[in-house]
Every structure is written in C-alpha cells, then in structure tokens.
C-alpha cells in the first residue's frame, strides 16, 4: 500500500493450488549434498507469493486436511527439519536475485540485491547467518 514491492517465501506444500511453476531452479548445498529447488509463484493482494518446491517439503504432508509439516505429532520433530529449513533459507536468499516476476503494472523484473529480509520464526533463523557468511563476505 506504501509502494513497496513485497515477496513472501514459503515451502511448497500441497495446499497452494494457485501457484504456477516459474521454470526457475537453483542449486542449494544442504549437508553434504547439492539439492535442486524450483520456485512456484502467485500474485495476490499486491504480494508476490513464492513457494520453494522440493520433495523434502511435499513428502511431509498428507493432503490438505491431514498435514503434519513439522513432525509426526505435536511436540515431536521430523529428524530432517534442520536440513529442510536450511534449504528453505538458502532458496529464500536466492529468490529475489533469480526470479524475474512481472506481476503487476507497477513492478516487474527481479528484485535484485537491494532487499530487506524478515526472518519471522525459527524456520528462517539461518537467513541472517547465511546473509553474513555467504553473501556479505562476497560483497553481496
């Protein structure tokens, strides 16, 4: 509403039926392996909504009404949560640079490097660490 371009980034679980595949994929180092993530996108209420697509996210949900995103039951985490959310954080840092979104009459193209990240929960807590260690150290 104040003229800022806004993007939210979330894991792509099965309930985001409006999002379309951007065709953009990036490689992310998770643990000892390189994983490929794809980005899905929809534009709603003036916000670019980006979803990170990877089997590690989709395999944890059991349909729209039976989702168990963080663990098999309340209070018990999946063993790969750290890897999954590391993957999410790294993909979130790449999205503004690699996605060429032409969503509205006011904004188009990639966001670039002049962005502000808001890490609002433990799932995104690695974003400030990665910004400092992986990007700021390279002048980005």
Domain membership flag for residue 42: yes
* CATH number, domain containing residue 26: 3.40.50.2000
Q: Which domain holds residue 94?
A: 7-136
Provide the pLDDT for residue 120: 86
Strand partners, 28: 35
DSSP code of residue 94:
H
Q: Domain tally for the chain?
A: 1
> How many Cβ atoms from other residues are within 10 Å of residue 6's Cβ?
14
CA dist., res. 137 & res. 126, Å (int): 16
Q: Is residue 103, in this structure, part of any structural domain at all?
A: yes
**What pLDDT score was predicted for residue 61?**
64
Residue-level pLDDT at 118 = 93
pLDDT of residue 81: 84
Give domain status of residue 2, yes or no.
no
Q: Exposed, middle or buried by CB within 10 Å (0-12, 13-18, 19+), for 69?
A: middle
One digit per residue, the tens of pLDDT, for the chain of length 140 reads 788 899 999 998 876 778 899 999 999 999 899 999 999 999 998 899 999 999 888 766 655 545 677 777 778 887 888 999 999 999 999 999 999 998 777 778 888 888 899 998 888 999 999 999 998 888 88
């Amino acid at each position: 509403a104040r003229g800022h371009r806004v993007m939210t980034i979330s894991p792509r679980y099965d309930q985001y039926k409006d999002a379309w595949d951007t065709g953009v994929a990036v490689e992310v180092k998770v643990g000892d392996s390189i994983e490929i993530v794809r980005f899905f996108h929809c534009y709603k209420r003036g916000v670019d909504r980006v979803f990170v697509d990877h089997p590690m996210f989709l395999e944890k949900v059991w349909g729209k009404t039976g989702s168990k995103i963080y663990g098999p039951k309340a209070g018990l985490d999946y063993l790969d949560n750290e890897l999954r959310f590391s993957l999410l954080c790294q993909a979130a840092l790449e999205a503004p640079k690699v996605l060429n979104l032409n969503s509205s009459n006011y904004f188009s193209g990639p966001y670039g490097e002049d962005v502000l990240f808001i890490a609002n929960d433990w799932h995104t807590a690695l974003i400030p660490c990665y910004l400092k260690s992986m990007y700021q150290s390279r002048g980005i």
